Structures are given as C-alpha cells and as structure tokens.
Chain A
Amino acid sequence: MNRNNFWIHFGIAVVIITMAAVLGQIRRWETSLRTPVSTGKSSKPTTKPIAVKRSNADGEPEINVRFKPTVNLSDIKKLAAKNNDRIEDEIEAVKGLVSIDDLDNADAETVAKQYAAMTDLVLYAEPNFKIQLDDPTKTISSKDLLQREPIEARPNDPKFAEQWSLNNLGQDGGKERADIDALKAWLKTRGSSEIVVAVLDSGVDYTHPDLVENMWIRPDNVPQYKDDELVVANDLHGFNAAENLSDPMDENGHGTHCSGIIGAEGDNDEGIAGINWNVKIMPLKFMGRGGFGTTKDAIEAINYAIDRKRNGVNDRVINASWGSTMYSKALEDTIRAAGEEGILFVAAAGNATTNNDKRPHYPSNYNLPNVISVAATDKNDQLTSFSNYGVKTVHIAAPGKDILSTWLNDDYREASGTSMAAPQVVGVAALILANEPKLSVEKLRERILKSVDKIDSLNGKVENGGRINAAKALGN
C-alpha cells in the first residue's frame, strides 16, 4: 500500500466508524424516548402486587371519554393536558376509550359535558362516580335423593345431596326434577381444565379446598399483564381492579359462592360439586369487602379478560352477578369488545322484583349478541319473589334460591339471588365448551337459550319461557 492509498483508506474508515457511532447513539435515544417508563417497570419480574400510582388520594378517574377513531392517543393526551386533565387509563380493548382525571377537581358531570361538547373529536363522555364513605363534616349535604338415575355420574361430594339445583328429588319441599339435570349432563362431560371462566366479582378465595384445584393460574407462556397506566404485574391468580393489585382474594364471599356453583371440584370427597367438576376459574375482582364496586373498575377488569384472551388464555365466559339501574355506554362498549373476542357475558337480571323491559337493569339489559340476562327460580320451578323479569330483556331463568356453595374460611353457605342464577348458566356454558371447544359465542348463546325446560310460571316473564337444562344443552 502506498502512502496515498493508506490515507484514503484511513479516511474512509474514520468516516464509517463515526457514522456507526452516531447511528447507534440515535437508536439509543429513540428507544429511550419511546419507552421512557415501561421498560423499567416491566422488565423486572416481581412476586409482589404493585399498587397503581394514582394522581390523588381519592384515586378514581373522573370521567370516561370515548374519542373518535381518527383521534390518536398522543392528541388525546395533548388535549387533556391543555384542559389541565390527565389520562388516568386507556381502555385498550375499546378504541378511543380513556379514563380522564380532572386535576382541578371539577365536578364530574361538568367535565363530562365539556368533553361531550367536542363533537368533532368525542363520541361520548360520561362521569365515573366515586364510591366512598361520606364525610358529613365536609358535605352537608335432602329424602334419599341420590337414588335418581344415572348412578354412574353421581359425585362423592358429601354435600351433593343438598344441591337441589343439580339434582332435585323433591327434598325440602321442592319439586322433583326442578333442576338443571346435572347427572344426565355429566354422562357427556364433567368439564375441562382447558376452559377458563372469568368470575367478575368480589374476588375468589382461591385457597378454598373445593376450589383450589380448579383455579386458573397464569401459565408460564402467557406474559404478565401490562397496562401502561396501571402497571399491574404478576397476575398469577387473576386481577384485582378494585385495589389495583394482582391479588384477587375475596373478602366478601359472594365471588367465592358464584365460583363454587360454576366449578367446585367434583367427586373429591369434599363439600359440593360444581356444575363443572373440572374447569379453570379466573378471578376478576372489582367489588370490595362490602360487595359493591365502580363501573370503571368493572370496565378495567373486562379489559384484562380481553387482554388475556388475546395473549392465548382460553377465557370464553364472564360471570357478572351484579348490576344497577345506571346505564354506562363505556361499560356497554367494553362488553361488546369482549364479545368480539369470543367471550360470552352472562349477567344477573337483578333482585328488585321489577320488569326490566320497563326499568332497565345493567349490564344484563345491554342488547348485545354476547349478553345473556338470567332470572332466578326456586326449588319448585317458580320465579322467585325477588327476581327481576322481562319477556323482552330477560332471556332465561336458572335456579337462584337457597343455593349451597363455597364461602370464605373453607366454609359453605346457602345464598339467594339472581347472583346465584347467573353462574348456573355460566356453568352450563362451560360444559358446552368442554364438549365443543370451537363453538362461536353466537352459537354458544343460541344453544343455551334453546336448552330449557319450559315452565308455565316463566311464560311471559322471560324471553324463552324456560329454566336452563344442562343435559339438553349437551344433547343428552
């Protein structure tokens, strides 16, 4: 190499090295700008629940706003900042839906109206009410029933004889065969651990001896739940939207009761039998110790269920044994999004003895292709004295009075309500899916609503005039 060639090659090398160094630095800058927070939060595995950082002590977002599809998140954030508001959370399952926290502590109704007035950008805006303790200083303001056929499907659970809803032989003054015909259904299937049922409720005592084997645990191949705003990690046992923790332990008992109806382990010499002897129950906690919760937290929990489905979890049904008369477009949109992911949403019709056709009860009254509204019957196949009804809006009935199921502290308890009727339908849905895993949500809903025993007392009270029959649902 002569002296001239050396300097030419040396010069080229210096230029290339300098360019590579500059490009590398630019890429690092880009990465740090794109993921300023989430990289740090999500890369470190954690075994403890992480509390959400909220903007203030009260914590709850002020309003839910759904922006038009043309408005991107960046623009939404700018708009919120301009109004001295803050994006509390993005509901990823519903495009354009965000929870906004008003940093001025303005009245939620007022803030919602401000956003609703932006008709070129906003589809709707609704207040998200806080539920909190009032501080008045601040504001004045069994016969031998196990002899019924078929014997081969009878579980050995010691309290099975008390479960009239599964096998009614007229015990305790009931009417023979006023049940869901579980024994006959179990000749076909007793459930499957491949089917995941989400219980959207007060949490579940996932250590209960009759539930522990049937609890969903996030598989290793399913990533931890990440929410850009809430930052929940290590969702090993499910999700807790009420306290923004990953631990969905039940402090009330209601969610544990519903779970036992759906899937207490069967034939395990312990307690009761669930409609599914085998299933996986995913607790989605949004109600606290008192048995009530916010619409926003319900939305957040459904968003979690949708996210898990998209990440490969086979959660096909959500049980919703709760409600109120308050309509929420945001909740309706989120339940619709769940339906689009193939998730059936089964809701209690309510306990006010009222006609839902005239006085709607939500979420059961959302007119969506994945929603089933359930009324409650007693052991004589009569509509219970408390159950809501509605020939246009309540679709089916199921046993919901004096239902024995799992409770806190390894206990069992009888309870009554449409809360207890909805999980009977969810349980049957899970049985159907165990037998036909590929069934679409539309076909699943159709099958359930056709699988009833017609009851005179339900004629004109519920849409199909019948009480669910699990054996019929399985073609048995």
Chain B
Amino acid sequence: MSFNQSSATEKAKQDLARRTSVSESDIETVSVTETEFADMSLGAPVGDEMAAQMMSSGWRINLSAGGKKYEYRADKYHIRLCNFKGTNHIVGS
C-alpha cells in the first residue's frame, strides 16, 4: 500500500480511534504539515530497528482526542505513532 497525505491522515485517525476508544468523528485533525524527516524511521525508531540514514519527506499529522494530543508521522511507505505511552509504533504500511 502507498500513502498520500489524505490517506495517511485517515489511517491515523482510524488507528487513534481504536487505541483511545474515542469515536473517529470526535477526533480533530489539528495540523498536517509536510516535513523532511532525518531517516526512514521518520525519526521515530521502534525497538532495535535500524533505519536508512536518508532524509525522507512525509507528513507530520497532529491529532487531538479526548483533550489529549497525539503525533503521527507518515511517508508513502508507512505510518508511525510517536511516543504513545512511552514508545513509538508502526501503525500502517
């Protein structure tokens, strides 16, 4: 699967709805910005993952649900949730 800004945002909202039990319609898209990430883990490595050290363009997706803010990062290959309960997560690829 290949993502664009719109499909990545949609996927992020679906993921957050499942994690927080907040209805998808109640999740607010705070901002979606084009960003250049430091590497192909989008600066959000998982576990002992090793990532290609190439600058990688994608989107920083900020969502809000239940009064809390959440940051997703995406490129055309995959989506990550940053620092959710202390760790990063790959949520779609």
Contacts and interface: CB of A to CB of B under 8 A. Distances in A.
Contacts of A128: 48
A321 B40 CA distance: 11
A201 to B, nearest CB: 7
A257 B56 CA distance: 14
Interface in A384-414: 386
A257 B51 CA distance: 15
B54 interface: yes
Contacts of B41: 291-292, 324
Contacts of B85: 141
B52 to A, nearest CB: 4
A351 B81 CA distance: 20
B50 A287 contact: yes
Contacts, number: 123
B79 to A, nearest CB: 10
Contacts of B90: 131-134
Contact of B54 (A131, A254, A298, A349): A254
A131 B47 contact: yes
A290 B38 contact: no
Interface residues of A, number: 48
Interface stretch (A93-101, A229-237, A416-424): A416-424
Contact of A136 (B15, B39, B52, B53): B15
Contacts of B91: 133-134, 136
| Interface residue tally on B, bucketed by range | 20 to 34
Interface in A301-355: 321-326, 328, 348-353
Interface centre among A201, A298, A386 (most CB of B within 10 A): A386
B82 to A, nearest CB: 12
Nearest to B77: A290
Nearest to A141: B85
Taking chain A's interface residues, is the majority helix, strand, or loop, or is none over half, making it mixed?
A: loop
Interface centre among A202, A286, A289 (most CB of B within 10 A): A289
Interface centre among B41, B53, B90 (most CB of A within 10 A): B53
B52 A289 contact: no
Contacts of A293: 49-50
Contact of B50 (A292, A349, A353, A422): A292
B53 A323 contact: yes
Taking chain B's interface residues, is the majority helix, strand, or loop, or is none over half, making it mixed?
A: loop
Nearest to A127: B48
A290 B40 CA distance: 7
B91 to A, nearest CB: 5
A295 interface: yes
A419 to B, nearest CB: 4
B40 A294 contact: no
Contacts of A420: 54
A165 to B, nearest CB: 15
Contacts of A386: 38, 55
Interface in B63-90: 77-78, 81, 85, 89-90
A291 B55 contact: no
A349 B38 CA distance: 12
A328 B78 CA distance: 25
Contact of B49 (A131, A134, A201): A131
A226 interface: no
Interface string A31-74: 00000000000000000000000000000000000000000000
Nearest to B19: A136
A136 B43 CA distance: 21
A322 B53 contact: yes
Given A134-B89, A290-B40, A291-B77, A322 B52 contact: yes
A177 interface: no
A291 B56 contact: yes
14 contacts: A131-B46, A133-B93, A252-B52, A287-B52, A292-B51, A294-B48, A294-B50, A322-B51, A322-B52, A324-B45, A324-B50, A328-B48, A416-B54, A419-B52
Given A292-B49, A321-B53, A328-B48, 8 more contacts: A136-B15, A137-B18, A252-B52, A321-B52, A350-B53, A352-B38, A386-B38, A417-B53
Q: What 5 A-B pairs come out closest when comparing CB atoms?
A: A129-B47, A291-B40, A417-B54, A348-B53, A351-B38
